[in-house]
Structure 1
Amino acid sequence: MKIAHAPVSSSEASTPASQTPYRTAFGILGVTSASHLLNDMIQSLMIAVYPIFKVGLHLSYWQIGFVTLAYQVTASLLQPLIGRYTDRRPQPYSLPLAMLFSFCGLFALSRAHGFLALIGAAMLVGVGSSVFHPETSRVARLASGGRHGLAQSIFQVGGNAGSAIGPLLAALIVVPNGQGSIVWFTIAALLAMILLWHVSWWYEDQIARRKRSRGATHASPLNMRVVAPVIGILMVLMFSKYFYTVSITNYLIFYLIEKFGISMRAAQLHLFMFLGAVALGTLFGGPLGDRIGRKAVIWFSILGAAPFTMILPDANLTVTTVLIVLIGLIVSSAFSAILVYAQELMPGRVGMVSGLFFGFAFGLGGIGAATLGWMADHFGIAAVYRLCAWLPLLGIVAVFLPRPATAVDSTRDR
């Protein structure tokens, strides 16, 4: 059965086409969030079992970082290109295809017995993500009913919840049963394919309805002298956020084991707590941006984490546990606000903007993983956290962001 779209009342139907309101389709947002959960659970599972690959395949920290680089760069390079193409020619049925790539990547991951095979498996998962994120982000905006921050937060919280669940499942299933048990998680990819097939039906119907009511629409030309500096500021903020975040997601397990001597399972549970806090922070960040303004949320989210990141390298285990939760809550609230801010800055280019920012995030994650892995090999894992503690201070550049409405009005060539 197809998922029904949000109904439009007779009063809505009589509204001029250019101003036709659409209600928030919470059912669709829930399904896209659930599929995002499954997609990102697969990604975080791959990262969480790095210690198994490191021991089993005799890998260095640099090689572990390079695996992440292969995955992230594959995703980041393709996403803006896919987003730009689908802005012009939406591809509803690319959604289940994305999860087919992830299915193949998981299967290859469970059978990888060498460094190159591991890289190939990671790249397959990366291709899946590159197709998944631009189109599902567009679906979330279509289903928003004008509540764009809320819609992106619902969509994003699924991904962050999946990222939190991955390490927990790794600790409970993969660690006791070995690398081969990763194949069991192909069931998650199959379930996501089923969910996304239904979303594709809804998406295709929405495209047809909007074409009938509005006719062909074209993105307005942009004044790049105005847009480019603002995008540059947002990219600096993304750099600060994701370089710090990757230091936690990739190396927290190793840091806790080395510094405090706790077990791998206990370290994975700490990573689960951090990623759970990230999911919770994401859920509140978007609606808060709708209410008080996206610039305020961006400002607080990145710069506000600085006091806690500065304390972390010298904290004991108990304080470290509290700090990683606080840092996860604060830092994670920015992404939905940044993404919607950029979408408002560049109207009519939802796919390209989503692909650019998701892709840039993945690319930063990959470069950060490789760079920080090299640092950990040469200077120790503790040095990584002492250096990264300063990154949130880059949030000060948010003061140069214009108000979103002003930015949107001035981006159109006159």
Structure 2
Amino acid sequence: MNKRRLGLLTGTHAVNDLYQGLVPALLPFMVLERGYSYTAVSGLMLAATGLSSVVQPLVGLYADRHPRSWLVPTGFLVAALGVVLAGLSHSYLLTWIAIALCGLGIAAYHPPATVAARAAGGASQKAMSVFSVGGTIGASFAPMLAAAVVGGAGLAHSYLLGLPALAMGAVWLLSNAGRGSASGAASGSAGNAGAALLKPHNDWRAFGWLVATIVCWSIPYVTVLSMLSLRITRDLHGTGFQGAAALTGFTASGAAGVLLGGWLGDRIGRIGTIRAGYLFALPSLAGLVLAPSAGWALGCTALLGMSMFLPFAAQVTLAQDYLPRNPATASGITLGLALSVGGLVSPLLGMLSDARGLGVTFSAVLCVLAAATGLALRLRNRAAQAVVQMAGASGSLGSAQ
């Protein structure tokens, strides 16, 4: 394990996802300063999450065939540029385009950075979890950074939000950490090619149920991410600081949920972890819907973030075991689809919020989460025997050679 390089990549992940978190964190300030409606806000979330998640598998396809280490810094620098331009733009169309640019930068970052992190971490699952949590921690600081930079001085000072990306870009260049990512990608591709020789059976039906579960998970997730601050400040008469704190609590508890989910998965199994996450998330979201005060909502939000992310790692590995012949495809669909579907539906939920209020919208997504819980309860485990056999056969081929 190359701890130094893994630490650098974790830092870039934190900076990259900082900008992913800044998009929803800036939305309340845009509503106050520019008078955007809930529908307009949801359209911006569509630009940020929907396009990014759809483009990400295409970038991954390119990165697999043509490894390019420069995609890592380019990704988070383009994401930062999009956030800065969105804050400085006065037209809604230009703001939408800028946020879409941010989403494209985020999409360009993740595939090559994940390959590089896997090469740096070797066979360690802990290394990959640390890299993943780095992104969640970065996103958790976004609301506070937005409040500190934009809260007092207005969106005109959004250019200051680009400083973390510039600093990390300089660190990346000085460390020359991009060396070896191409070789790591090449060796990974060779391993996958050797493994494909066995062609184990894909369980597309079980994978379809898992995808349906994740789709129903993504809608409440994106809705809470984009509407939580407005729910706290407008419906529950909380302060702007409480609205930002709620977003921070949601993302920070999500990071804790990822780590806790990995620990639980080793002890009670993947299916038990997935079911526990959904079963705990349901009353947490219900508490947010019925919250009588901002303080009550803050507590429910923290529990909701942890519960929703308990199944995160387990769902990815389960998807790969459902499709052992196409593990990259399984990962791309589960990770990319999760945010894209929620982003595509968010404008409709924004229209519902404009017409009936945020309380009705949160009640609607509670029903969607209940459907996700029902789907999660019918998921069944699939042993990783095919994957183990693939790895063993690949090793045998290497020994024979």
TM bracket, shorter-chain basis: 0.7 to 0.9
The aligned counterpart of 2:66 is 89
- Specify the code of the residue in structure 1 equivalent to 2:89: A
The aligned counterpart of 2:396 is none
Does the CA contact (< 8 Å) of 1:96 and 1:194 recur in 2?
no
The aligned counterpart of 1:57 is 34
Change (3 A) 1:246 1:221: farther
**Post-superposition offset of 1:44:** 1.5
Does the CA contact (< 8 Å) of 2:261 and 2:314 recur in 1?
yes
Q: Does 1:396 align with 2:374?
A: yes
- Decide which of 301, 306, 317 is 2:282's aligned counterpart: 306
The aligned counterpart of 1:245 is 221
Q: CA RMSD in A?
A: 2.9
**Post-superposition offset of 1:207:** 4.7
The aligned counterpart of 2:317 is 340
- Aligned residue runs from structure 1 range 2-401, under 5 A: 6=1, 25-148=2-125, 150-196=126-172, 198-207=176-185, 210=187, 217-218=193-194, 220=196, 226-317=202-293, 318-346=295-323, 352-393=329-370, 394-398=372-376, 399-401=378-380
Does the CA contact (< 8 Å) of 1:303 and 1:396 recur in 2?
no
1:146-167 Cα shifts (integer Å, max 9, x gaps): 333x334212211211221100
Does the CA contact (< 8 Å) of 1:62 and 1:377 recur in 2?
yes
Does the CA contact (< 8 Å) of 1:303 and 1:392 recur in 2?
no
- Specify the code of the residue in structure 2 equivalent to 1:61: Y
Task: Count the aligned residue pairs.
Answer: 386
Does the CA contact (< 8 Å) of 1:99 and 1:192 recur in 2?
no
Q: Secondary structure at the match of 2:151?
A: helix
**Post-superposition offset of 1:42:** 1.2
**Post-superposition offset of 1:113:** 0.7
Does the CA contact (< 8 Å) of 1:37 and 1:161 recur in 2?
yes
Q: Distance in 1 between matches of 2:233 and 2:70?
A: 44
**Post-superposition offset of 1:57:** 2.6
Q: Distance in 2 between matches of 1:57 and 1:216?
A: 50
| Residue range with higher mean Cα deviation, 193-202 or 167-176 | 193-202
- Specify the code of the residue in structure 2 equivalent to 1:266: Q
Change (3 A) 1:263 1:89: same
- Specify the code of the residue in structure 2 equivalent to 1:62: T
Q: Structure 2 unaligned segments of length 5 or more: list them.
A: 392-401
Q: Distance in 1 between matches of 2:335 and 2:307?
A: 19
Change (3 A) 1:301 1:141: farther
Q: Structure 1 unaligned segments of length 5 or more: list them.
A: 1-5, 7-24
Change (3 A) 1:81 1:205: closer
1:49-92 Cα shifts (integer Å, max 9, x gaps): 11222233332110111111122222122111222333343333
**Post-superposition offset of 1:329:** 1.1
Does the CA contact (< 8 Å) of 1:346 and 1:411 recur in 2?
no
TM-score by structure 2 length?
0.86
**Post-superposition offset of 1:411:** 10
**Post-superposition offset of 1:121:** 0.5
Change (3 A) 1:144 1:292: farther
Does the CA contact (< 8 Å) of 1:242 and 1:361 recur in 2?
yes
Change (3 A) 1:221 1:54: farther
Change (3 A) 1:351 1:113: farther
Q: Could you say which structure has the greater relative contact order, defined with CA pairs below 8 angstroms and 6 or more residues apart? A: 1
TM-score by structure 1 length?
0.83
Change (3 A) 1:407 1:233: farther
1:301-340 Cα shifts (integer Å, max 9, x gaps): 1233112222332232233222111111111122222223
Does the CA contact (< 8 Å) of 1:41 and 1:159 recur in 2?
yes
The aligned counterpart of 2:384 is 405
Q: Percent identity?
A: 26
Q: Secondary structure at the match of 2:202?
A: helix
| Residue range with higher mean Cα deviation, 350-359 or 281-290 | 350-359
- Specify the code of the residue in structure 1 equivalent to 2:178: S
Change (3 A) 1:321 1:245: same
| Residue range with higher mean Cα deviation, 33-42 or 120-129 | 33-42
1:202-259 Cα shifts (integer Å, max 9, x gaps): 4235457x489x7894551797983322332222222232211222211111111222
**Post-superposition offset of 1:368:** 3.6
